[in-house]
Amino acid sequence: MTNRSNWAMLAAAAVAGWLAAGSASAYPTKPITLIVPFPPGGSTDIVGRIIAEGLSKELGQSVVVDNRGGAGGTVGTTAVAKAAPDGYTLGIGSTSSHAVGPATLPKVAYNAVKDFAPISLVGETPYVLAVSPKVTAKTVAELIALAKSKPGQLNYGSAGAGSTTHLAGAMFAAAAGLKMEHIAYKGNGPATKALMSGEVELLMGSMPAVLSQIKGGTIRALAVGTVKRSPALPDVPTMREAGVAGYEASLWLGLVAPAGVPQAVVTRLNQAVHKVVSDPEVAKRLQATGTEPRINTPAEFAKQVQDDLAKYTKIAKDIGAGGS
């Protein structure tokens, strides 16, 4: 590289930095739209609204939730990817929209890695391995023994073919070397009900969907899929503790912007999210829905998206899920 082009680049960077800093000191000057790619009322929407409320106070501009549900979160996420990268359109990205959706759906109009500027993680929801009351197994080891004694006879439920819970269940089966039948339901509610009535023997459920039944004693939790135990269910071991190596999965939710937003906006938003999520009131609300507050840097978040996309793409290929 010549000296001259070096100087030119430096100058350009300086100008860009100055421009960004200038706009950031003012950012945000108008209301921000937060696209939640799921219909009102789902766990993503509830988390989105909790964060939107916190961000509104923190940024001094109202953050308006715009629900754009459809196609496993990919319709709304497409809208985020295509929005102007000015920091006034943000989205809630999740395992669904940034890993499972692109892995299982035939046509997704965005690249989960390249088309977004990750801001920060907001929360993490463990998958919970739950069994029906009709299943006698009290530990994961007993469950694995049971499933191995009846190959292909046990059913695991999910909230839909190609959904996060389907892939989580398939990953568990693969990690434990089990052969089980996948039974798809239309959403978490019906899947949980099927588990309660014993129509399916087990379910890799998302925490918000199964927490109240576990607490009510109508289904039993054998393990959580996260690295650490969940504060919501402190007595339930992790998969690793329960002896299933190589199973580590959770549902995450985070704030994303379209690729190309000024670095200063990313920094400002990252700070704001950290402050909001660290607020004990907000944390309490998130925890009540089964979501553990989590924060990280944009770089860490980007890496997580990349890793999960690779992980879920592989499992989706292995089981031939969805239209992929």
Partner 1 sequence: MELIGNLALGFGVALSPMTLLYCLIGVTAGTLIGVLPGIGPIATVGMLLPITFHLPPVQAIIMLAGIYYGAMYGGSTTAILLKLPGTAASAVACIEGYPMAQQGRAGPALVMTTLASFFGACVAIIIVGAFAPPLAQFALEFGSPEFFSLMLVGLIAAAVLAHGSLLKGLAMAVLGLILGMVGQDVSTGFPRFTFGLGELYEGVKFVIVVVGLFGLAEIVHNIGLGDKREIYAKKVPLRELIPLRRDLRVSFWPMVRGTGIGAVIGILPGAGPAISAFASYAVEKRIAKDPSEFGKGSMAGLVAPEAANNSTAQTAFIPTLTLGVPGDATTAIILGAMLIHGIVPGPKIVTEAPELFWGLIASFWIGNLMLLVLNLPFIGLWVRLLSIPYQILFPSILLFVCIGVFSLNNEPADVIMAAAFGIIGYVFLKLGCEAAPLLLGLILGPMVEENLRRSLQLSRGDPMIFLTRPISLTFLIAGVFLILLVVVPALRKPRKDPTIAAGSKES
Give the binding site for partner 1 (CB under 8 A): 39-43, 45-46, 49-50, 52-53, 65-72, 74-75, 78, 104-107, 109, 155, 160-163, 166, 181, 183-186, 189-190, 192-194, 196-197, 199, 208, 211-213, 215-218, 285, 288-290, 321-323
Do 310 and 113 contact (CB within 8 A), yes or no? no
Q: Which helix (H) or strand (E) holds 37?
A: none
The least distance separating partner 1 from the CB of residue 146, rounded to whole angstroms, comes to: 18
The least distance separating partner 1 from the CB of residue 232, rounded to whole angstroms, comes to: 11
The least distance separating partner 1 from the CB of residue 303, rounded to whole angstroms, comes to: 27
Nearer to partner 1, 38 or 301 (CB): 38
Closest CA to 162 of 76, 92, 71: 71
CA distance 254 to 115: 15
Nearer to partner 1, 24 or 319 (CB): 319
The least distance separating partner 1 from the CB of residue 230, rounded to whole angstroms, comes to: 15
The least distance separating partner 1 from the CB of residue 126, rounded to whole angstroms, comes to: 15
Q: Where are the beta strands (DSSP E) in the chain?
A: 32-36, 63-67, 89-94, 116-131, 155-158, 181-184, 202-206, 220-224, 250-258, 292-293
Nearer to partner 1, 225 or 290 (CB): 290
Nearer to partner 1, 266 or 292 (CB): 292
Nearer to partner 1, 121 or 196 (CB): 196
**202 pairs with which residues across the strands?**
131, 156
